[in-house]
Amino acid sequence: MKEHTQIPKDALFIIDTLEKHGHEAYVVGGCVRDMIMGREPNDWDITTSAKPEEVKAAFKRTYDTGIQHGTVTVIVDKEHYEVTTYRIEGEYKDSRRPEHVSFVTDITLDLSRRDFTMNAIAYHPVRGFVDPYNGKKHIEQNLIKSVRDAKERFTEDALRILRAVRFSAQLGFKIDDNTIEGIKACKHLLKNISKERIRDEFLKICMSDRPEAIHTLYELGLLEYILPEFIPTYTTAQNHPHHLYDVAHHTIEAMRHTPKDEVLRLSMLLHDIGKAKVRSTDKKGIDHFYGHPEVSAEIAKKVLKDLRLDNQTIKEVTLLVSYHDYHLRQKITKVYIKEILKVTGEVLFDQLLLVNEADARAQSLDKLPMKLEQIAYVRKLKEEIVVNHECYNLKMLAINGGDLIKEGIAPGKAVGEALEKALKYVIKYPEKNIKEELVEYIKE
């Protein structure tokens, strides 16, 4: 194998420079795993026997990244590379970080502290692989296996529990049975992990090729530490001609049909989360979920705040969840579409159509052609509205507050009410969006 041909020349330069100064150096971790799998690594991490001060002495441009843990960033041209001294770690008291680290000179000791065997491989362009835990073999077997004792690794840093599921989602690997047992034994330690760190791992699962890994989170009892509100969806059946699955499996199937966009994936994840609270069954045994978009939007807002998502994401996801079944509320007309555009704007409306499509593809397949046809019809009407510059918000009105004040309307609430009346008028009669006509309409 010629994996070293993939290593950037700058990384090779760092390794060569350190070795000329009498130290060992290897590329290590995820980049080696990706190299073996034929994937393009995102980052190239280097590990070395050199102490941090020796790394800094060997290069002109460096800065301290995590100097207490032995990490120095080396700058070569415009690229930044993290170089970390071989180390072993002391006691973990908070399930997050060690109390102290000790620098060592043996690469195998350094590899012994890493999370999974596939990430505990070092590679040197001349000496080849250092693989004390059979990581290469496990990669070939598509297996995620803890280094040494799983319980020890998860007790050290409980976030590794979610990393195991995340790697499974991203790589399509199976989690080793002993590692699964370690997860079950240590899952309670996730309560010690910050919401931000949990969020980051969970979002990577949601954005992966296999969002169905959320089922693994449920099966292993991990959802209660991430998204407890989703758990009831697994026991919420949908006995309805339009549905194939319970709410949870419908949701994940819909996520699989959604582009890898954070707002879209989160919207699909949460669009039906309120169904468990509103489910009712009629005399024919058919389930109904009246009002579930509003309930789901309320839950979504709380969930996203708990996960420390930014306000813009929370706003967009909540809107998409609120409106995801607009097409079931009343007859589709241009006026109705413009009323929705007024709230969502054009970009979010386009995302709403993607939500509709993903939702439909996760329902009864015999009704899919009809639903896709309706979505295409909505898209056509929306495009006509845009091309014809039909007004659907206050900014597009041919008049503004200043025009109305000039016509004698007192500044304040009355101006706002008049503009809303004018907007409602031109949404219904787009050809009337002319300044003179609107002034006359308001006067009347």
171-192 burial: b if 16+ Cβ within 10 Å, else e: bebebbeebbebbbebbebbee
Residue keyed to tokens 């807002």: 301
CA nearest to 321, candidates 339, 309, 303, 342: 303
- Residues 383, 428, single domain; the answer is no
Q: Which long-range contacts (CB under 8 A, 24 or more apart) does 404-409 make?
A: 404/439, 404/442, 407/439, 407/442, 407/443, 409/442
CB 183 within 8 A of CB 215: no
- Residues 96, 180, single domain; the answer is no
CB 174 within 8 A of CB 146: no
Which residues does 45 contact at the CB level (< 8 Å), separation at least 6?
Answer: 27, 28, 29, 30, 31, 81, 82, 84
- Residues 113, 15, single domain; the answer is yes
- Residues 148, 84, single domain; the answer is no
* Domain CATH for 184: 1.10.110.30
C-alpha span between 12 and 25 (Å, rounded)? 10
- Residues 247, 378, single domain; the answer is yes
Q: Is the pTM of this model over 0.85?
A: yes
Residue keyed to tokens 């996801």: 317
- Residues 300, 344, single domain; the answer is yes
Q: Domain total for the chain?
A: 4
Encoded amino acid at 147, one letter: V
- Residues 315, 412, single domain; the answer is no
C-alpha span between 337 and 340 (Å, rounded)? 5
**Which of 339, 361, 387 is the endpoint of a domain?**
387
Residue keyed to tokens 């967009």: 316
Q: Two tokens at 277? A: 């609270």
**Which of 134, 159, 184 is the endpoint of a domain?**
134
- Residues 49, 76, single domain; the answer is yes
Four-point Cα dihedral 165, 170, 171, 177, nearest 10: 10
Instruction: Transcribe 106-120 into DSSP letters.
Output: -HHHHHTTSSBGGGS
Quote the DSSP letter at residue 98.
B
- Residues 123, 206, single domain; the answer is no
Helix residue ranges per DSSP H, 187-310: 195-206, 213-219, 247-256, 262-270, 275-278, 292-306
Helix (H) or strand (E) holding 280: strand 280-281
Instruction: Transcribe 33-75 into DSSP letters.
Output: HHHHHT---S--EEEESS-HHHHHHH-SSEEEEEGGGTEEEEE
Which residues does 36 contact at the CB level (< 8 Å), separation at least 6?
Answer: 3, 121, 136, 139
Residue keyed to tokens 């070092």: 122
pLDDT of residue 94: 56
- Residues 420, 400, single domain; the answer is yes
Q: Judging by DSSP bridges, how do beta strands 45-48 and 79-85 pair with one another?
A: parallel
C-alpha distances in Å from residue 276, one per residue of 158, 261, 272, 295, 413: 30, 26, 8, 10, 41
* Domain CATH for 313: 1.10.3210
* Domain CATH for 30: 3.30.460.10
Burial class of residue 235 (count of CB atoms within 10 Å of its CB; 0-12, 13-18, 19+): exposed
- Residues 244, 351, single domain; the answer is yes
CA nearest to 382, candidates 337, 323, 335: 337
CB 77 within 8 A of CB 10: yes
Half-sphere exposure of 216 (CA within 13 A, CB side): 22
Task: Give counts: helices (H), strands (E), the chain.
Answer: 20, 13
C-alpha span between 20 and 124 (Å, rounded)? 14
pLDDT of residue 2: 43
- Residues 103, 34, single domain; the answer is yes
C-alpha span between 250 and 363 (Å, rounded)? 7
- Domain residues for the domain of 438 are 394-443
**Which of 360, 387, 414 is the endpoint of a domain?**
387
pLDDT tens track, the chain, 444 positions: 344 458 999 999 999 999 999 999 999 999 999 999 999 898 999 999 999 999 999 999 999 988 888 999 999 988 999 999 999 875 656 555 656 688 999 999 999 999 999 999 999 999 999 999 999 999 999 999 999 999 999 999 999 999 999 999 999 999 999 999 999 999 999 999 999 999 999 999 999 999 999 999 999 999 999 999 999 999 999 988 888 899 999 999 999 999 999 999 999 999 999 999 999 999 999 989 999 999 999 999 999 999 999 999 999 999 999 999 988 778 999 999 999 999 999 999 999 999 999 999 999 999 899 999 999 999 999 999 999 999 999 999 999 888 888 887 778 888 889 899 999 999 999 999 999 999 888 887
Q: Two tokens at 438? A: 């609107």
